[in-house]
Each structure stands twice: as structure tokens, then as C-alpha cells.
């Protein structure tokens, strides 16, 4: 399968495929908003805090601030990477950015691959859909490229361009073999990616975050990434949006999507596994739907917690709608912290969770 050229110029035929790519991005947005795409399993519900009837703190003592990528967040939250490359994606990203800045939380953008591959005629319009820094000048922003693209012509210069495009504080390198395997346009050569990721870590100049997109990361994979110098790993585990279902719907093969819908490492298990590896800091994401889920992810070992799907519908509405949703999640987190006696996020790391048997 032909990939982009090493120079970053669009390969033959890409300009003609631009409309098809925009259609793919639109399909992703539309399908991600469909409740039938979400998994039925709620893995965070398997875990519970023990209630502290005498917390010995006041609600006003609860402090949700954390440090992330050299900046202070008002809460340990990341709006996870979603989209880019279409008019609707541009609206989504602008609303997410404005809300993230107002709330003081981190923001990731969707895959920037097509903006880097675009023809000269389309490049400006593509890049504009990722323009978030003007609306979010002070919070951490994370760029995004697929790891497999390192086997299809992209290299360190493309990674630098992705960082420059959004003024990123870090670059997420996403790992998505299941999505690529089912996606009609999938790129499935994942050979030799570890040393290439290591080269990006050493040469890029900003932190590299290795992330899945919904199937989780197991301990051995995280350990291999850590050996390449990766310090931040985003679990993006099983339990939320099913990209198997999304890509199978696009491929008109719903049975295939159902077969692999529950493929992966549940997010709580992935957080625990990755948090146990020296030198690695965890972003817990995948099926996080509330501030209570955020609290559980932190207690399991996450330093920061990512959410995407809860912000999609509000982002199609307005920045204010996204901000209200963020504030609701923070309020839920504060209540969970208060009722466990954890006055800080650091203290929440030491609050035990009890795993309930599945019914």
C-alpha cells in the first residue's frame, strides 16, 4: 500500500482522494455520536470507593490542581484527541479549545496526518481545522499522529510539523492496529515501529505520548515503550467508543464489528498495569464518563484522565456547552474526593478501591 512521500508532499492520487478523506472524518464524527457505537460494559462500575463518613476535611479544602507537561491544570483532565480535517471538525476543535482554556484543562487534537499529506491547494484549509492555539493560548495542547504512518513515509520532520501546526506541548503517537485492520483504507504494516518511536522520542524536542484509541495497552507493551524513552502512556482502554464498530459500519460488515467490539484491555486493568512500570506516567482514558470515573482512574494510578465522547455533542453546540460539561465533571470529582477524605489529587492516589464481583 503506497504511503506519503518522505518529503511530506502528497503521494500520487491524494488530492483526488481528499473528498473521500473528508467523508471518512465526517463518518467518524457521526458514528461516534451514535449510542449504539458505545460498549455496553462499564468496567469502572466494577470498582468502588469505601465511603468515609468522617473525612476530616471541608469541601473547600478539596484541591483538584495538578501539573502536566510543565503547566498547571485546574483539574487532572484532558479533552482527548478527537478530530480534524473537516468544517464540522473545525467547529468542534474551536469549541473544545475555548472551553479547555476557560476551564484550565488540557486539550488534544485528532490525527493530523491528512493535513501533512494534503496537496498545496488543500493544505491551508486542512491546517485551519486544527487551529486551536489562538483559542487556548495557555493550556497544554497535544498534537497527534499515527505510529503506523512511520512505516508509510512519515518521519521526524513530519512529527515536528505536527507539533508546529498546533503549537503543541507534546505529541501523541497513536497505536491502533484493530482500527487499521477493519478500516477499509487501513494501513496494517506495524513492523519495526518501536525503534522508530524511540527515534521520535529522542529527536522531537517535546514529550511523546504513546496512546491506544480504545483497546488499551498491556504491561509488556508499556514496558517496551518505556525502554524507548516514552514517559507518558495514554491507556485509551476498552470500555467506551468502539472503533471496531465504527470501522465495521463504514465497511458494511457489522458482524465483524460485533466480533471484535470487546477486544482489548479494560481501562481500569490497563491503568493498573501501566502505572506499575518505573519511569512511566499514565493518562487514563477509555470509557471515562463522569467525575466519579475520573476519581477511580486516579486512584488506580492515572496522573491525568482523558475524556472524548462526553464532549462531542456539547462541542457541536458551543464552547459554553463544553465548559458546562467540564464543570459538571469537576464537581463530581470534588464530591468523590471529599467523601473519601482526599483533599488533593496526590492524596487520591492513595485511596483504596474495592473491586466488586461481576453480576
Domains, the chain, ordered by start: 42-177+190-241+256-355 (3.20.20.70)
Q: How far apart are CA 63 and CA 100, in angstroms?
A: 18
Q: What would the mean pLDDT of 144-171 be, rounded to a whole number?
A: 97
Is the pLDDT confidence value at 7 over 80?
no
pLDDT of residue 85: 65
Cell of residue 278, nine digits: 518505573
Cα 40 to the chain's mean position, in Å? Answer: 20
Q: How far apart are CA 228 and CA 213, in angstroms?
A: 20
Percent of the chain with pLDDT over 70: 89
DSSP string for 148-205? GGGGTT--HHHHHHHHHHHT-SEEEEE--HHHHHHSTT-----TTHHHHHHHHHHHSS
Is 1 or 146 the better-scoring residue by pLDDT?
146
pLDDT of residue 295: 98
Tens digits of per-residue pLDDT, 196-253? 999 999 999 999 999 999 999 999 999 999 999 999 999 999 999 999 999 999 999 9
Whose CA is closest to 185, among 240, 230, 148?
A: 148
Q: What would the mean pLDDT of 13-32 be, rounded to a whole number?
A: 50
262 pLDDT band, cuts 50/70/90, is: very high
pLDDT of residue 36: 72
156 pLDDT band, cuts 50/70/90, is: very high
Task: Please list the residues that pair with 344 across neighbouring strands.
Answer: 63
CA-angle at 111, arms to 122 and 121, nearest 5°: 5
Tens digits of per-residue pLDDT, 39-53? 877 999 999 999 999
18 pLDDT band, cuts 50/70/90, is: very low
Looking at the whole model, is its pTM more than 0.85? yes
3-state secondary structure of 359: coil
Name the average pLDDT for the chain: 90
pLDDT of residue 298: 98
Cell of residue 174, nine digits: 497513536
pLDDT of residue 26: 57
pLDDT of residue 29: 61
pLDDT of residue 173: 98
4 pLDDT band, cuts 50/70/90, is: very low
Is the pLDDT confidence value at 28 over 70?
no
**Among 9-23, 134-148, 321-335, which stretch is predicted with the lowest mean pLDDT?**
9-23
pLDDT of residue 14: 24
Q: Which helix (H) or strand (E) holds 278?
A: none
Q: What would the mean pLDDT of 119-145 be, rounded to a whole number?
A: 93
Tens digits of per-residue pLDDT, 47-78? 999 999 999 999 999 999 999 999 999 999 99
Q: How far apart are CA 167 and CA 89, in angstroms?
A: 18
Is the pLDDT confidence value at 305 over 50?
yes
Is the pLDDT confidence value at 276 over 60?
yes
Q: How far apart are CA 307 and CA 321, in angstroms?
A: 15
Whose CA is closest to 3, among 84, 109, 113, 85?
A: 113
Amino acid at each position: 500500500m503506497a504511503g506519503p512521500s518522505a518529503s511530506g508532499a502528497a503521494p500520487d492520487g491524494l488530492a483526488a482522494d481528499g473528498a473521500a478523506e473528508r467523508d471518512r472524518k465526517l463518518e467518524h464524527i457521526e458514528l461516534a455520536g451514535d449510542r449504539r457505537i458505545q460498549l455496553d460494559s462499564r468496567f469502572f462500575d466494577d470498582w468502588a470507593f469505601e465511603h468515609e463518613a468522617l473525612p476530616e476535611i471541608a469541601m473547600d479544602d478539596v484541591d483538584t490542581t495538578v501539573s502536566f507537561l510543565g503547566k498547571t491544570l485546574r483539574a487532572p483532565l484532558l479533552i482527548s484527541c478527537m478530530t480534524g480535517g473537516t468544517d464540522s471538525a473545525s467547529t468542534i476543535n474551536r469549541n473544545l479549545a475555548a472551553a479547555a482554556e476557560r476551564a484550565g484543562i488540557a486539550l488534544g487534537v485528532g490525527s493530523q496526518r491528512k493535513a501533512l499529506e494534503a496537496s498545496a491547494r488543500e493544505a491551508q484549509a486542512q491546517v485551519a481545522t486544527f487551529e486551536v492555539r489562538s483559542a487556548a493560548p495557555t493550556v497544554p495542547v497535544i498534537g497527534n499522529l499515527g505510529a503506523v504512518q512511520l512505516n508509510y513515509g512519515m518521519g521526524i520532520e513530519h512529527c515536528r510539523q505536527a507539533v508546529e501546526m498546533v503549537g503543541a506541548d507534546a505529541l501523541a503517537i497513536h497505536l491502533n492496529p484493530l482500527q487499521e485492520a477493519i478500516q477499509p483504507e487501513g494501513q496494517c504494516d506495524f513492523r519495526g515501529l518501536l525503534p522508530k518511536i524511540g527515534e521520535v522520542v529522542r529527536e522531537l524536542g517535546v514529550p511523546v505520548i504513546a496512546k491506544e484509541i480504545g483497546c488499551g495497552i498491556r504491561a509488556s507493551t508499556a514496558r517496551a515503550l518505556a525502554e524507548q524513552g516514552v514517559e507518558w502512556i495514554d491507556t485509551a482502554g476498552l470500555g467506551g467508543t468502539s472503533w471496531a464498530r465504527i470501522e465495521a459500519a463504514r465497511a458494511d460488515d457489522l458482524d465483524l464489528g460485533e466480533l471484535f467490539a470487546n477486544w482489548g484491555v479494560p481501562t481500569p486493568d490497563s491503568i493498573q498495569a501501566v502505572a506499575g512500570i518505573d519511569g512511566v506516567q499514565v493518562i487514563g482514558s477509555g470509557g471515562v464518563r463522569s467525575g466519579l470515573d475520573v476519581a477511580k482512574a486516579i486512584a488506580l494510578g492515572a496522573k491525568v484522565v482523558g475524556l472524548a465522547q462526553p464532549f462531542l455533542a456539547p462541542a457541536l453546540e458551543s464552547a459554553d456547552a463544553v465548559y458546562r460539561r467540564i464543570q459538571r465533571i469537576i464537581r463530581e470529582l470534588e464530591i468523590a474526593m471529599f467523601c473519601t477524605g482526599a483533599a488533593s489529587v496526590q492524596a487520591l492516589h492513595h485511596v483504596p478501591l474495592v473491586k466488586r464481583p461481576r453480576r
